[in-house]
């Protein structure tokens, strides 16, 4: 079996990005108004991470004796269990909301919830005039695009020259920028029934950039960067996430095109100094991403936590702890990666580990 590379610095980034996504979705339970206004950019970071980690893990194997079918089967086995577990929680949350407040989910009968849950299990989107493409599990749109870009990687992307990859990435990001000015959701597009097909303008260029960055790493280009503490890129990401609303899409473009690749490169460059707790953050990231929305919806749309009508930091903190705790339980009991102890990986060294989606992402 060929060796795969695990980058501990990227584990920390992946975990913090997952936390910012969760907090962006539940922060209205703490106080009126948003804090993590640009938390949706974690989606783009996740796709860049995915391209880097997938290329590091599979390039040599696919050039050897690993078939495309085996690669895709491995990815499904890696991603499906946690995703399906999170989907079950999403279906339960939808049924609870329908039970307490049918008016909040017009048309969301138990039968439709079951149908949409079954469709989401197969990553089949709901196509309609409005609403999420995956009504009972909005995060599924990123998993659907993750599988699409994985197929593209196995069949084509890994075979393209770096120059062609760079040209395609630039073109796609320019198209994403044009769409963000025309789309009422600005850069946070790709999750609704109306624009699910546009999610590729975030998934494809991000993933291709990850491939480009890994090739740069293999060529030794990242050694030219200064070695900084891994905590600096992590702190920089938090600064980006809390930037105020109302900034033009060019801010999002600059973040995705310039800042995200730079943060990844700095973490790879200084990964030997990454704290051990980065590994635990990385382990938590995918289960947390896949399951947290169920807890957020139950808290905000049912009376079970008393958070329907007004914020309450104490009760909101309980919801966050429940989401994190259930994510850890999913990691230990459902996630195939949970069978390996996080402490077994402490540095940028070759290990036998399967990367999660998007190096692990709703936007």
CA proximity to 262, closest of 228, 296, 286, 288: 228
pLDDT at 109: 82
pLDDT at 352: 33
pLDDT at 321: 96
pLDDT at 360: 46
Q: Which two tokens stand for residue 90?
A: 């999403």
What is the average per-residue pLDDT within 74-94? Answer: 96
pLDDT at 100: 84
pLDDT at 102: 66
Q: How far apart are CA 47 and CA 356, in angstroms?
A: 11
What is the average per-residue pLDDT within 4-8? Answer: 70
What is the average per-residue pLDDT within 11-35? Answer: 88
Q: How far apart are CA 90 and CA 113, in angstroms?
A: 10
Assess contact for 265 and 213: CB atoms under 8 A.
yes
Longest dimension (CA), the chain: 58
pLDDT at 105: 52
pLDDT > 90? residue 66: yes
pLDDT > 70? residue 345: no
pLDDT > 70? residue 343: no
DSSP state letters, 119-188 = HHHTTPPP-SSSSBSSTT-TTHHHHHHHHHHHHHHHHTGGGS-HHHHHHHHHHHHHHHHHHHHHSTTTT-
Q: Which residues contact 289 (CB under 8 A, 6 or more apart)?
A: 18, 21, 22, 139, 360, 361
What is the average per-residue pLDDT within 131-159? Answer: 96
Q: How far apart are CA 284 and CA 286, in angstroms?
A: 6
Q: What is the pLDDT of residues 181-190, one digit of tens each?
A: 998 889 999 9
pLDDT > 60? residue 34: yes
- Exposed (0-12), middle (13-18) or buried (19+): which is 77, by Cβ within 10 Å? exposed
Q: Which residue intervals of the chain are DSSP H helices?
A: 8-26, 42-63, 68-100, 110-121, 140-155, 162-182, 200-218, 231-241, 249-254, 260-269, 277-301, 313-333
CA proximity to 14, closest of 362, 358, 333: 358
∠ at Cα 348 (345, 14), nearest 5°?
A: 75
pLDDT at 99: 86
What percent of the chain stands above pLDDT 90?
A: 73
What percent of the chain stands above pLDDT 70?
A: 90
pLDDT band at 356 (very low <50, low <70, confident <90, very high): low
| Long-range contacts at 314-319 (CB < 8 A, ≥ 24 apart) | 315/29, 316/26, 316/29, 316/30, 319/26, 319/29, 319/295
Q: How far apart are CA 55 and CA 10, in angstroms?
A: 14
pLDDT at 107: 61
Q: What is the pLDDT of residues 108-129, one digit of tens each?
A: 788 889 999 999 999 999 887 7
Higher-pLDDT residue of 85, 35 = 85
CA proximity to 312, closest of 223, 303, 184: 303
Radius of gyration of the chain (CA): 20
Place of tokens 């009991």: 333
Q: How far apart are CA 310 and CA 316, in angstroms?
A: 11
pLDDT at 90: 96
Q: How far apart are CA 141 and CA 192, in angstroms?
A: 9
Q: How far apart are CA 226 and CA 206, in angstroms?
A: 24
Across all residues in the chain, what is the average pLDDT? 89
* HSE-up of residue 336 (Cα within 13 Å, Cβ side): 17
């Amino acid at each position: 079996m060929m060796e795969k590379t695990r980058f501990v610095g990227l584990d920390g980034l992946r975990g913090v990005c997952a936390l910012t996504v969760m907090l962006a979705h539940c922060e209205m339970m703490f106080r009126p108004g948003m804090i993590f206004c640009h938390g949706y950019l974690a989606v783009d970071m996740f796709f860049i991470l995915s391209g880097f980690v997938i290329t590091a893990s599979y390039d040599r194997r696919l050039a050897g004796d690993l078939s495309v079918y085996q690669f895709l089967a491995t990815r499904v086995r890696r991603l499906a269990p946690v995703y399906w577990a999170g989907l079950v929680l999403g279906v339960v949350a939808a049924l609870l909301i329908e039970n307490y407040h049918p008016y909040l989910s017009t048309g969301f009968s138990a039968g439709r919830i079951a149908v949409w849950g079954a469709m989401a299990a197969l990553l089949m989107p709901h196509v309609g005039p409005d609403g999420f493409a995956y009504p009972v599990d909005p995060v599924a749109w990123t998993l659907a695009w993750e599988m699409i870009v994985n197929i593209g990687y196995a069949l084509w992307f890994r075979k393209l020259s770096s120059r062609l990859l760079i040209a395609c990435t630039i073109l796609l990001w320019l198209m994403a920028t044009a769409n963000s000015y025309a789309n009422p959701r600005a850069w946070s597009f790709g999750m609704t029934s109306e624009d699910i097909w546009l999610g590729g303008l975030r998934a494809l260029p991000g993933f291709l950039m990850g491939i480009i960055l890994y090739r740069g790493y293999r060529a030794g280009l990242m050694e030219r960067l200064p070695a900084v503490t891994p905590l600096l890129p992590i702190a920089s990401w938090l600064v980006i996430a809390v930037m105020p609303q109302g900034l033009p899409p060019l801010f999002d473009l600059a973040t995705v095109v310039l800042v995200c690749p730079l943060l990844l490169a700095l973490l790879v460059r200084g990964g030997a100094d990454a704290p051990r707790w980065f590994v635990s953050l990385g382990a938590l990231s995918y289960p947390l991403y896949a399951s947290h929305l169920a807890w957020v919806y139950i808290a905000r749309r049912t009376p079970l936590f008393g958070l329907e009508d007004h914020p309450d930091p104490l009760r909101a903190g309980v919801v966050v702890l429940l989401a994190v705790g259930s994510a850890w339980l999913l990691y230990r009991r459902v996630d195939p990666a949970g069978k390996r102890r996080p402490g077994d990986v402490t540095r940028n060294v070759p290990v036998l580990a399967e990367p999660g989606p998007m190096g692990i992402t709703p936007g």
